[in-house]
Structure 1
Amino acid sequence: MIIPEINDTVEIYIYTLPGKDVYSNLINKYVDHINMLMVVFDVTKKESFSSAQSALARFHPDAHCHSRPIGNKMDLEARRVVSREEAEKFADSIGIPYYETSAKDALGVEAPFLHLVKEYHNLIVQLKMKGPKDFLCGRV
């Protein structure tokens, strides 16, 4: 992903992982080696939001893991069960920004990626100044 203001590139690999508990072992295999975490949930399903909260509570405390909750399907306002305020309150409680998107209408999809990649780029620059370190999620 190209970071416009910096004129630099950050290479990202995106894994799409299922949110169901039955796949938790598979998820553990992948999240042990990540630097950024985006947890997307469906604003029309409360259980989807609960799963997102659990995932973020589990992985966000690691200081080396930059994460974002993303509420999808903002275009389905009539079916919404998770309010923007509720999701923002949760994100604020763990000190991270909240984003909403509509994949169907392609609204707000790029912003969370761009902000997270900028944050990660800044971290890399800072760590390079301090010296080599292992800064993957789950690695302290």
Structure 2
Amino acid sequence: MDDGSDCLVLKIILVGDSLVGKTCILQRYIDNTFDHSYMSTIGIDFKVKTLHLNGRFVKLQIWDTAGQERFHSISTRYFRGAHGLLIIYDITNALSFDNVTGWMKDVNANAGENVDRVILGNKCDLEETRVVSKERGEKLAWECGVHFFETSAKNNINIEKAFSALVEGIMNKSSSYTPRTDVVNLKKSDRKKCCNR
């Protein structure tokens, strides 16, 4: 049995505007629970999840950042040293989608342009109040050369897939990791320049 000495530690950051569902996504992924109460994260929160992938342990240190403007400088400080980020918007809130580009620029400035990232359109269970089409989210992600998922923390839609895609992208960069053969990677030549990336 592995004694943990070969444990790879990955720093994952959840970013996006206030009330897009970052905390709910994290709770669903870590505890498989959903809390209907809407309490904004104050500053930063932190949880850990350990995975066993291809014969080695991978510890995810997942940081849930505050989306309010007054915490912006604090939140972006935590981007440094990140291996991957989930950039989240709310499909019922057009401004949160428009602000994804700004979050991308913050990531570039504080974590680097080559850090792995995935865009999530959250609250896809609220189809009747949708204002951002899935196609717009897919187009933005394609232009930025990143994975995209529409998710629902409430109904547990694509949460596991989103984290798995992010971790997969990070692990594919590791020389000690054997990539899966069933993962399709976009060629850089197929992407448009976007988000300074």
Normalization by structure 1: what TM-score?
0.80
1:46 corresponds in structure 2 to 94
Task: Please state which structure has a larger fraction of its residues in helix.
Answer: 1
1:130 corresponds in structure 2 to none
Matched, 1:2 2:2: no
Matched, 1:85 2:121: no
Q: 1:115 to 1:3 in 2, by over 3 A?
A: farther
Matched-pair contact (CA < 8 Å) for 1:40–1:72: yes
Deviation, structure 1 residue 47: 1.3
* Residues in 1 aligned to 2:105 and 2:77: alpha-carbon distance in whole angstroms: 18
In angstroms, what is the RMSD of aligned CA positions? 2.0
**Displacement over 4 Å in runs of 4+:** none
Matched-pair contact (CA < 8 Å) for 1:71–1:101: yes
1:31 corresponds in structure 2 to 79
1:98 corresponds in structure 2 to 148
> Gapped runs of 5+ residues in structure 1?
128-140
Q: Percent identity?
A: 27
Task: Please state which structure has a larger fraction of its residues in strand.
Answer: 2
Normalization by structure 2: what TM-score?
0.58
Matched-pair contact (CA < 8 Å) for 1:60–1:66: no
Please state whether the residue corresponding to 1:114 is helix, strand or coil: helix
> Gapped runs of 5+ residues in structure 2?
1-49, 178-197
Please state whether the residue corresponding to 1:123 is helix, strand or coil: coil
* Residues in 1 aligned to 2:120 and 2:94: alpha-carbon distance in whole angstroms: 14
1:137 corresponds in structure 2 to none
Q: 1:99 to 1:79 in 2, by over 3 A?
A: same
Matched-pair contact (CA < 8 Å) for 1:69–1:99: yes
